[in-house]
């Protein structure tokens, strides 16, 4: 239904954003994020390539949701997507769901606040610092060590900066082409 609402808009037509339409778009972007996370099952790519591709697409989805459905709804999507990743078997321990959700929400809120400034490019760094520091503390608290812990710590380090920056780049390229969404004005 969300896809039909998006695809039915005519060239240059603005869909009035209010009421239930924001929730339809929120569901659309949540579904888009879930589909992007599921790509790792469909594309036979090596794990590092999959991580960079899917991470960039999910971050792009979060930022498009932020600009179109407002920051609170995009932050909610950022909190829900790690739960889906856990249910898909991508996160090894439950506390990572909360940690990644907080990182996603911080990324969305920071990017929203600085969207028109160069400071927007610091959002991926903030997300990486939160995820790396939180993961390191979590692994220490749980007493987890060895190669799986090192791999998890690596995934939450500098690749987050790359995928976050790629998400900003992709969202900024794609957003002007989404004319049928009403995304101008104050984003609260």
Give the percent of the chain with pLDDT over 90: 64
The model's pTM: 0.84
How many CA atoms within 13 Å lie on the side-chain side of 36?
Answer: 21
State pLDDT tens for residues 59-78: 999 999 999 888 888 889 99
Say what the pLDDT of residue 4 is: 42
Q: Which of 138, 125, 155, 149 is nearest to 40 (CA)?
A: 155
Say what the pLDDT of residue 71 is: 82
Say what the pLDDT of residue 18 is: 60
Read off the DSSP letter of residue 122: G
Q: Mean pLDDT over all residues of the chain?
A: 86
Alpha-helix runs per DSSP H in 43-157: 47-69, 71-87, 95-113, 123-142, 147-155
Count of beta carbons in the 10 Å neighbourhood of residue 4: 9
114: tokens are 């600085």
Question: May I ask the CATH architecture of the domain 2-177?
Answer: Orthogonal Bundle (1.10)
Read off the DSSP letter of residue 92: S
Q: Above 60 in pLDDT, residue 1?
A: no
CA dihedral (166, 172, 175, 177) in degrees, to 10, reads -100
């Amino acid at each position: 239904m969300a896809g039909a609402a998006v695809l039915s808009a005519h060239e240059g037509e603005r869909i009035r954003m209010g009421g239930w339409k924001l929730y339809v778009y929120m569901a659309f972007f949540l579904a888009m994020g879930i589909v992007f996370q599921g790509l790792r099952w469909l594309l036979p790519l090596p794990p590092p390539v999959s991580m960079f591709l899917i991470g960039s697409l999910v971050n792009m989805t979060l930022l498009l949701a932020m600009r179109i459905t407002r920051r609170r709804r995009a932050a909610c999507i950022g909190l829900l997507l790690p739960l889906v990743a856990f249910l898909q078997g991508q996160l090894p321990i439950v506390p990572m769901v909360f940690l990644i959700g907080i990182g996603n929400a911080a990324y969305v809120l920071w990017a929203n606040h600085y969207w028109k400034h160069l400071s927007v490019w610091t959002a991926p760094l903030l997300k990486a610092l939160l995820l790396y520091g939180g993961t390191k503390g979590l692994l220490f608290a749980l007493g987890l060590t060895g190669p799986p812990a090192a791999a998890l710590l690596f995934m939450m380090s500098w690749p987050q900066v790359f995928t976050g920056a790629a998400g900003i780049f992709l969202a900024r390229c794609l957003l002007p082409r989404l004319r049928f969404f009403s995304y101008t004005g104050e984003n609260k």
